[in-house]
Amino acid sequence: MSLSGRLEDLQLRDLLQILGLGRNDGLLQLRCGCNQAELLFSEGLVFSAWRQEAPYSGLRSAVVACVRNLLTWDEGDFSFQPGSLAETLRHTACGEHLCLDNGLTMDELLRDEAVALPASNGAPVALAVSNTQQAADDLPCVSKEDEPVAVLLVDDDPQISVQLVRALAQQGLAARSFGCGAELLSAARCAWGAGQHPLLIVDLIMPRLHGGGILGGLELVEQIRSVQVDQACLVYSDYPCPEVAQRLQKLGVDELLNKPRPQSLTAEDHSAVVAAFCNNLAVKAAALRRGSAAIIATQPPAEPCVAPSAVEPETDHTVAHQGAGMGMLKGMLQELQTVERGGQIMLLVLRFATEILSRAVLFSVGKDRIVGLGQFGYGDGENSADEKVRRIIVPLTEPSSFKEVLEQTAAHCGPLGKGHWDTYLRQELEIGCSGEVFIGPLLSDGQVVALLCGDNQNSGCRVDDSPALEIFLQQAGVALENLQMVGKLRKLSALLGKTVEC
């Protein structure tokens, strides 16, 4: 599996976990400014590490020290090329390598990792956040803990928090900002206990209360509604989430507002769009605080808070898909670790695929045939797309692109074949003769249990982020294996009459 991207989207710590769990062989090359580094993998273990302009040593402790130093690289590029140790040393590696007799596990490399990582400007991240928070606290209309508040807001992006607090202050609203949902919920409970009902502004995409996952904002609104049914909330997100928007409507939040996405803008444009977003959101918040909520509810939904010219126009499908997978991968992998049922894993696979593909079908692999399981992006509003895909059946006894992926246990990204069953799939899935299709296997216990098949035919762009899909499918398979192991342990504990912690 080849893999490349930016360290801003997928940090080295997560790359090490992915390559280790997948038992990958090959070379990971890193670049941060003028600095270069390489890590050699075999069976998911690190056998050698090289960093430019650093003293070279084949000692085990030196390899660990080198990797931990590389963990401080929070920006730059990475590229992983698969291959055996001998082949990689002979043809691919640039640095001088002397392999260890026994490779290092991820636990050995990541144990006792330093918490504070340097920011791109050389200052510690913790200091940068602290200074940002201090800037917010210095604003004249930022309420302190013992003062009544008009607005409580939560966003794990300090830049957004500071600008939004400043914009609210200009509207005459005292505000307090928080970096996580638990802090906002605690402050809201205190306010309710004192008879106050501040407006709550919530970022949708952030960790959940337990620290994992990415839909922390949705969980927070659910918690708020369980205590205060009529609490006024504004929720925004930098990713389109139609399903979540529907769930929010059921919770009484009429609109999921659009937050600017930094991936689609230059630094200068992003700063201007963020300012416009914060100002417009502050105006909307002021209207709600003045008692205009009833008027707003009877009018057509307001335009998104982002300037239309700067934030992903609906006609620009290329921007909507390019690089979205890598940007979402880390958070989605965290959410994958919290699932409790196999069905949840399959839903997460489809949800992650929406970031990269305009439509896709998830197929279940049986002993002698492949059957449609679920989909997104299909249907004309009159006929049930789910029923249609469940009627798609491809036998394993005859040639097809699906059978090739099963036999090779490797993803395919390109046109379907010319055979009978590929022609059948093109007709059923409405795929053009030369259209690019992604087919990825989901393996559990060494067996392919599902296939994801999708394309961007509706948007007319290529599948540029297929490595992110391959990684997520790989980790979904690991999650399935873990669930099966937990189930076996629970059955065993029931037989023995003992409790086993899973």
Q: Which residue has the higher pLDDT, 145 or 420?
A: 420
In angstroms, the CA 98 to CA 49 distance is: 9
Q: Are residues 61 and 144 in the same domain?
A: no
Q: Are residues 66 and 201 in the same domain?
A: no
Q: DSSP string covering 46-86, please?
A: EEEEEETTS-----HHHHHHHHHHHTT--SSEEEEEE--HH
In this structure, what DSSP letter does residue 262 have? G
Q: Are residues 289 and 384 in the same domain?
A: no
Q: Is the model's pLDDT at 351 over the cut of 70? A: yes
Q: Which two tokens stand for residue 433?
A: 């003769």
In angstroms, the CA 69 to CA 131 distance is: 25
Classify residue 434: in a domain, yes or no.
Answer: yes
Classify residue 224: in a domain, yes or no.
Answer: yes
365 in Cβ contact with 395 (< 8 Å): no
Q: Are residues 401 and 294 in the same domain?
A: no
* Predicted structure pTM score: 0.44
What does the H/E/C string look like for 263-290? HHCCHHHHHHHHHHHHHHHHHHHHHHHC
Strands 151-154 and 199-203: parallel
Q: Are residues 398 and 469 in the same domain?
A: yes
pLDDT band at residue 99, thresholds of 50, 70 and 90?
Answer: confident
437 in Cβ contact with 455 (< 8 Å): yes
Q: Are residues 364 and 484 in the same domain?
A: yes
In angstroms, the CA 451 to CA 435 distance is: 18
Q: Which residue has the higher pLDDT, 213 or 15?
A: 15
Classify residue 270: in a domain, yes or no.
Answer: yes
Q: Which residue has the higher pLDDT, 56 or 351?
A: 351
Q: Which two tokens stand for residue 372?
A: 């449609």
In this structure, what DSSP letter does residue 206 have? B
Q: Are residues 293 and 393 in the same domain?
A: no
Classify residue 117: in a domain, yes or no.
Answer: no
> Cβ–Cβ contacts within 10 Å for residue 487, how many?
12
Classify residue 497: in a domain, yes or no.
Answer: no
pLDDT of residue 134: 45
Q: Which two tokens stand for residue 147?
A: 């003062």
Domains in the chain: how many in total? 3
Q: Is the model's pLDDT at 491 over the cut of 90? A: no
pLDDT of residue 427: 92
The last residue of a domain, from among 312, 341, 367 = 312
pLDDT of residue 56: 57
Cα–Cα nearest to 259, from 219, 200, 305, 328: 305
Q: Is the model's pLDDT at 422 over the cut of 90? A: yes
Q: Is the model's pLDDT at 369 over the cut of 50? A: yes
> Cβ–Cβ contacts within 10 Å for residue 327, how many?
21
For residue 235, give its domain range: 125-312
Q: Are residues 63 and 153 in the same domain?
A: no
Region 55-76: what's the mean pLDDT? 80
Q: Are residues 254 and 348 in the same domain?
A: no
In angstroms, the CA 270 to CA 307 distance is: 11
Q: Is the model's pLDDT at 192 over the cut of 70? A: yes
Classify residue 227: in a domain, yes or no.
Answer: yes
Q: Are residues 99 and 231 in the same domain?
A: no
In angstroms, the CA 9 to CA 261 distance is: 13
The last residue of a domain, from among 260, 290, 312 = 312
Q: Which two tokens stand for residue 255?
A: 């609109």
Q: Which residue has the higher pLDDT, 431 or 298?
A: 431
Sheet holding 35-42, edge to edge: 3-6, 77-82, 26-32, 35-42, 45-51
Phi and psi angles of residue 283, each rounded to the nearest 5 degrees, phi first: -60, -45
Handedness of CA 243, 249, 251, 255 (dihedral sign): positive
Residues 6 or more apart whose Cβ sits within 8 Å of residue 376: 350, 353, 354, 359, 360
Average pLDDT of the chain? Answer: 77
* Cα Rg of the chain (Å, integer): 25
What's 362's domain CATH number?
3.30.450.40
Q: Are residues 389 and 286 in the same domain?
A: no
pLDDT of residue 118: 36
Q: Are residues 274 and 203 in the same domain?
A: yes
The last residue of a domain, from among 58, 85, 110 = 110
In this structure, what DSSP letter does residue 439 have? E
